[in-house]
Amino acid sequence: MRVIEKAPARAISSYLYRNPKARLAGLLALPLTWLIGVYIISLFLLLITAFWFIDPFTSKVRPGFTLDNFVNLITVPAYFATSMRTLGIALAVTVLTILFAIPLGIFMAKIASPWLRNFLAVAITLPLWAGYLVKLLAMRLTFTEQGLFNWLMEPFGIRGPGFGIPVTILTLAYLWFPYMALPVFTAIRQLPNNLFDASADLGAKGWATVFRMVLPLITPAIIAGSVFTFSLSLGDYLAARFVGGTTQMIGSIIASNISLNPPVAAAFSMVPIAFVVMYLMVARRTGSLERI
């Protein structure tokens, strides 16, 4: 009989082979520590502050239980208006990116030459490599009073909107466009060419093909992309600060209260979470979350 030399690594390996539970624990220990210990706990610690008090004298946070911070979200007109404004901006950004992404996706996937398609794919993803603040300042410089936009449009008698909600929507759409364009492009690319041929054979013109064939088939991809554009817009505050003029978003209130009044900031951070959960529940019904 041959004696098997058991190296330590071999010993561990055979132990794990005999114990499926230990195997599973070993596999999940690291990611679960991260997910629960770092990710969930820290978020929970932040959110629990929403139920706490602030000492008016020293601005120090005192543990306790109050729902006042949540009641204020509804009853203070400025808070409520800010939540609704942010929701509106996030929805507008999502619609805008969809409007840009579909024609571009159809062109890239079905019309453009391979060279042009690769070029456009790079052009879409390239801005992702640039810093977020750099892109914000670029938009700021573009739409400033004596900036590129007004200079280009001056011969046509058009003046830019100035910093405000429209430029904020445009800037956020610019920032999050790749997250919408890429899934939409991929989805359209997967549509067989003969579907377009069949649509034409049945007498559908261009628009009819887009609305009745392409759109229903890529809806899951659009919803997947919109989860990103919508939730990222809800949480943003630097765009409002740099190109928003006097626009105040949920993020602006959180940012200005995080040191001054953490309970209000924490209560406000629940608002985007609530919006996104509602959005995801709607999206889940369409089955498109499986495509993310």
Footprint on this chain of another protein (rule: CB under 8 A): 54, 56-60, 76-79, 81-82, 137, 140-141, 144-147, 151, 162-163, 241-242, 245-246, 248, 252-253, 256-257, 259-261, 264
- Least Cβ distance, residue 259 to another protein (angstroms): 3
Structure tokens at 183: 């899934």
Q: Name the phi and psi angles at 158, rounded to 5.
A: -105, 135
- Least Cβ distance, residue 158 to another protein (angstroms): 17
Q: Which is nearer to another protein, 32 or 81 (CB)?
A: 81
Q: Which is nearer to another protein, 6 or 60 (CB)?
A: 60
- Least Cβ distance, residue 71 to another protein (angstroms): 14
Q: Which is nearer to another protein, 101 or 253 (CB)?
A: 253
Q: Which is nearer to another protein, 33 or 42 (CB)?
A: 42
Could you write out the DSSP letters of every residue in 151-191? HHHGGGT-----SSHHHHHHHHHHHHHHHHHHHHHHHHHTS
Let me know if 81 is exposed, middle or buried by CB neighbors in 10 A (0-12, 13-18, 19+).
exposed
- Least Cβ distance, residue 209 to another protein (angstroms): 44
Angle at 13 between CA 9 and CA 17, to 5 degrees: 170
Rounded to whole angstroms, the Cα distance separating 209 from 197 reads 10
Structure tokens at 227: 């989860």
- Least Cβ distance, residue 56 to another protein (angstroms): 5
Q: Tokens 């892109």: give the residue.
A: 135
- Least Cβ distance, residue 100 to another protein (angstroms): 26
Q: Which is nearer to another protein, 96 or 253 (CB)?
A: 253
The most distant pair of C-alpha atoms in the chain lies apart, rounded to whole Å, by 96
Q: Tokens 């070029």: give the residue.
A: 119
Q: Which is nearer to another protein, 147 or 235 (CB)?
A: 147
What does the DSSP 8-state code read for residue 39? I
- Least Cβ distance, residue 58 to another protein (angstroms): 4
Rounded to whole angstroms, the Cα distance separating 112 from 114 reads 6
Q: Which is nearer to another protein, 58 or 193 (CB)?
A: 58
Rounded to whole angstroms, the Cα distance separating 53 from 144 reads 42
